[in-house]
Structure 1
Amino acid sequence: MLDCALYLLEVGNLAWTSRGNPIPVVRKLSAMVNSNDDGGVLVGNWSGEYSDGKSPLSWTGSVAILEKYWENKRPVKFGQCWVFSGVITTVCRALGIPTRSVTNFASAHDTDGSVTIDVIFDDEGNRDDYLTDDSVWNFHVWNEAWMARPDLPKGFGGWQAIDATPQELSDGVFCCGPVSVHAIKQGEINTPYDAPFVFAEVNADRMYWMPSLTGKMECIGVDNKSVGKFVSTKEPNSWRRLDLTDTYKHPDGSAEERAAVLKANQVGSNRQDLYEKKEHDVTFSLEQDSENTWVGGNFEVILRIHNTSKKDRTVSGRMAVSSMYYTGVVATKLKSDPFEKIQLKPGQDLETCFYPLDDNSLIRPAPEVVKAATEFQVEVSFTNPLDSPLTSCFVAVDGLSKPLEFPQGNVSPKGTFIATLPITPKKLGHTELIVSFNSTQLEDINGSHAIFIQDK
């Protein structure tokens, strides 16, 4: 891994005089881990078509990726954000730079530097994605690397955000960071590198736009509490989640958080007046039981409307359902129905149902202590939740030796899959056994188990 990390700095043409400085080193690595500009490690692919490579969901670790890249010096297919993050964690650590993966839920992708996310509707209330490329991802994974920042004001050292996923150009290259996490929290987006983009990921406001009667776009609402949730990493010396949200932002809606957003928008946006709009006195909320929603099954969406004013209100609107990629990009518009002139008395709530559209742990109990170079058995099982069979199945195992794959037979609809896998661990000490079940229909059904490997 060390040879591969040094090779990336070499083919990335990082000057020898800069290789002792972690700031340019991690910035260069964030460019070299993706292949967009320079033949780096990983090819990004969000299309769902992976026939000429490997699905991003089926990787169980970065070692197999880096070994394949090191073997032929050609980009490896394919990766998405969590794969890029895992690879850059490995190469940075190989160089002695403390690095960890960070996951942000409801992660904004600001494409125009406004540090806001624009959501545009046409005059019939249908979402129009042709006028903006902004989106909010279900989640996004980047990294933090620990270093001093003598180029920044005091207090801006420590954890720095970096991101190898190719999203937006920075100085003409697909790279991101390092940027001080503390600077992001304070809204100091003039600090290098790529602070406006990272700030928007965790703290952008969603701006909702619609054409007025004159045809001019009018801001019909601002949502300042839906982006940047449960920012997470792995807790040191534990398998628990460590919440990092308060290192990136003050509590949503607090005076400190609003001050940071306004400070950032003085640089990124020319529409500070939008933040002075009064809140609407009719509120809306949606509920849907995502835990029990499966492919091919029905589900309900509940819309609750509440009149908080002291006067009668008439509400018109539209309910729309679309399938979306986790990147927030609409795949298919499924259904769209209007509702018109609903009368609400002061303080009245209305609840309406729309659209009835027509875990077991993967690893069974496994030993906690095993011996190196001694085979033991791992039993893997889960129940297929779909009404269709699972085909082209295989189980991937990582964490105890080199990555392994075990081809499996098809799994019948609603059937239970059980397999016993022979594993021979190679390395000593505490580690984590990672098992992933993959098929054409379902991918990345995974489980993990902490194991201690002792000498024979």
Structure 2
Amino acid sequence: MQSCRLPTGVYRCGPAPVTAIKRGELGIMQCDLPFVLAEVNADVIRCVKLSSTKWEKLDVDTSRVGKNICTKEPDGTLEERLAVQNAGKASKKVRQIDEAEHMETFKFTLKPDDYLDHLTEQYMMNITATAQVKETGKVHIKEEDYRLRRPDIEVEAPKSGKRYKPFEINVSMKNPLSKPMTKCVVHVEANGNVEEKISDIAANSTWKHSITIKANRSGRITMNVTLDCQEIKDVTGYANVEIEP
């Protein structure tokens, strides 16, 4: 089997038995199974360029390639490990020595101003740590993903109310930032929607606000309160009220 390039610029490979690839059986003649096996079990390697001619390997991701294809077993399963071991019987053996003798922990403090403007919509944060060995120039990298927790809105509401009769709910939230929260809008979703623009919330202060609600149906209603500000969005809270006819 050889890969060929079509006039459209797309590469195509085959034939190669799917079962043989999944089992790591590379001895079938007239099929370039090692090439396909290497493709579906490839690793993603990130490197950094140290000079015009020298590159240094940073890290290796062994599970990114081949997650949704039928020519390999799921990563981490016994079948996947056995297939790779079976394919490796004819390969050259190498010896790798890891002489880690010392571990040291470093602590860094990230302030809100350092990351607030760089967060994704779901408040995800990717932290990457890079270390370089001074004597050898070797670079090591490690990264982790985190999701930050938004503050909560406290919602105080009466246990019951009358249909078509207005009642008040009180909402509050502590601003966790060392700067004001600006351009704020509060939304209330019940059996109708209420939206109000509010003034800025001072740094490290507790915001309190009263909202008038009028239910147009009886039964139990859930009031979902959302606060959107320029600095922090989708701060939520809720309360239930039983509405009598």
Query: Normalising by structure 1, what TM-score?
Result: 0.29
Higher helix residue share: 1
- Higher radius of gyration, 1 or 2: 2
Q: Which of structures 1 and 2 has the larger relative contact order (alpha carbons within 8 angstroms, sep 6+)?
A: 2
